[in-house]
Amino acid sequence: MDQGIVQANGLIKHYGQRRVVDGVDLAVPQGAVYGVLGPNGAGKTTTLRMLLGIIEPDGGSRQLLGLAHPRQARTRIGYLPEERGLYPAMTARETIAFMGALRGLPWREGRARADRMLHDAGLGHAAGQKIRKLSKGMAQLVQLLGAIVHQPELIVLDEPFSGLDPVNQEKLEGLILAERARGATILFSTHVMAHAQRLCDRLAIIANGRRCFEGTVADARALLPMRAHFVPRSGDAGVRALLPADAAPSGDGFDFSVPDEGIEPVIARLLAAGHGIAGLSIERPGLHEVFVKLVREAA
Ligand SMILES: Nc1ncnc2c1ncn2[C@@H]1O[C@H](COP(=O)(O)OP(=O)(O)OP(=O)(O)O)[C@@H](O)[C@H]1O
C-alpha cells in the first residue's frame, strides 16, 4: 500500500479474549478527507486511538506524519474524541483558546482566532457565553473549533456528526471542506453514509475489526449494479413477467437491478408486448446500500 500521511499496517487490538481490531491497514493520502466507516462496535474508535498513540496496538505498526511514535506529532494534530467534554464554567472563546494553548498556540492568538472562527461558524454571539449555557450541539462545535484552532496538518474526528442537528451537520461539512482547502488532511469516523458520500476522497469500511473495503466513493458504489425504477402505464397488467427476476413492487412501479446486458433488452421486451412506459429512472446505488451489503457479508 502507498505511503500515507497516516499509515497503519496490520493493526491488532484485543480486549480480553476478543480481537476487536484484526489486522487493519490504512493509508491516508496527504490533503485528503478520509472516512473510516463501520457499524457500531466495528473497531473504529479503537483504530483511531491506536493511530493517535492513545492506546498501544497488540500487533502491527503505524506511522503518523512520518513519525514512528504518534505522540511526537501532538502539536501538528487536531483531535475530536468520541467522548465530548469541556469545562462548563469556561466561555466558548476561552475554551477554544485553552485547547489551542494545549497544542502550543499562544493564548492571545488563540482568543483572536476563536472569535473569528466562532463568527464564521455563525456562533459569534456565543463567544462570551459559558459552555454550560450552550446547547449540546453548539458545545460540540466549540469543541471541534478548539481541536482545529492551532491549524493542524492532520485532523482526526471521531463521529463528529453525532448529536448535531441537520443545520449544524451541514456547518460541520463546510468546516471539514474548508480545512481541506487550507491543506489539512482529515480523517474521520462515521456510520452515517450521507456525510461520507459527500465528503470523502477515500474511505475504508471496517466490520468486525476487519477492513472489508478501501477506495473512493465511486469505487464503492461500483460494487453494486445500477438500480432501475420502472413505472408501467396505468392499467397495464402482466408487466412483472417481462421484468428481470429480482423486480419487486415499489411505490407506483417496480425496482430491479439493471442486468449486465443493459436496460435496452428489458425495454424492447416491454414495447414488443405492447406495454407503455410511464416512468423509468436508473441510478447508481448509494454508499448506504454498499455499506449495508458489505457489513452483512462480513457478519
Ligand atoms: N476499553 C475497552 N474495554 C473493553 N472493550 C472495549 C473497550 N473499548 C472498546 N471495546 C469494545 O471493542 C469493540 C470495538 O469498539 P469501538 O469503540 O472501537 O467501536 P466503534 O466502531 O467505534 O463503535 P461505535 O460506532 O459504536 O462507537 C466493541 O465491541 C467495544 O465494546
* Each residue's pLDDT expressed in tens, for the chain with a length of 299 residues: 456 789 999 999 999 989 999 999 999 999 999 999 999 999 999 999 999 999 999 999 998 998 878 878 888 999 999 887 889 999 999 999 999 999 999 999 999 999 999 999 999 999 999 999 999 899 999 999 999 999 999 999 999 999 899 999 999 999 999 999 999 999 999 988 999 999 999 999 999 999 999 999 999 999 999 999 999 987 777 898 999 999 999 999 999 999 999 999 999 999 999 998 999 999 999 999 999 999 999 88
The span from the CA of 194 to the CA of 215, in Å, is 16
According to the model, what pLDDT value does residue 3 have? 63
Residue with cell 448506504: 288
CB 197 within 8 A of CB 287: yes
User: ipTM score here?
Assistant: 0.96
Partner residues linked to 33 by β-bridges: 186
Residue nearest to atom 12 of ligand 1 (CA): 20
User: Closest Cα to residue 188, out of 9, 13, 3, 52?
Assistant: 52
Amino acid type, 24: V
Instruction: For a ligand 1 pocket test, name from 15, 162, 188, 189 the mutation site with the most ligand atoms within 8 angstroms of its C-beta.
Output: 15
CA 65 to chain centre: 21
Identify the residues whose C-beta falls under 6 Å from ligand 1. 15, 20, 38, 40-46, 82, 191
Residue nearest to atom 7 of ligand 1 (CA): 15
**Domain range annotation of the chain:** 6-221, 227-283
Which are the contacts of 216, defined by CB distance < 8 A and separation ≥ 6? 200, 201, 202, 203
166 CA → ligand 1 middle, Å: 26
Residue nearest to atom 3 of ligand 1 (CA): 15
10 CA → ligand 1 middle, Å: 18
Strands (E), 124-236: 154-158, 185-190, 202-207, 210-215, 227-232
CB 79 within 8 A of CB 148: no
40 CA → ligand 1 middle, Å: 8
83 CA → ligand 1 middle, Å: 12
Domain 6-221 bears CATH identifier 3.40.50.300: yes
Residue nearest to atom 18 of ligand 1 (CA): 43
* Atom number, ligand 1, closest to the C-alpha of residue 39: 25
pTM: 0.89
20 CA → ligand 1 middle, Å: 7
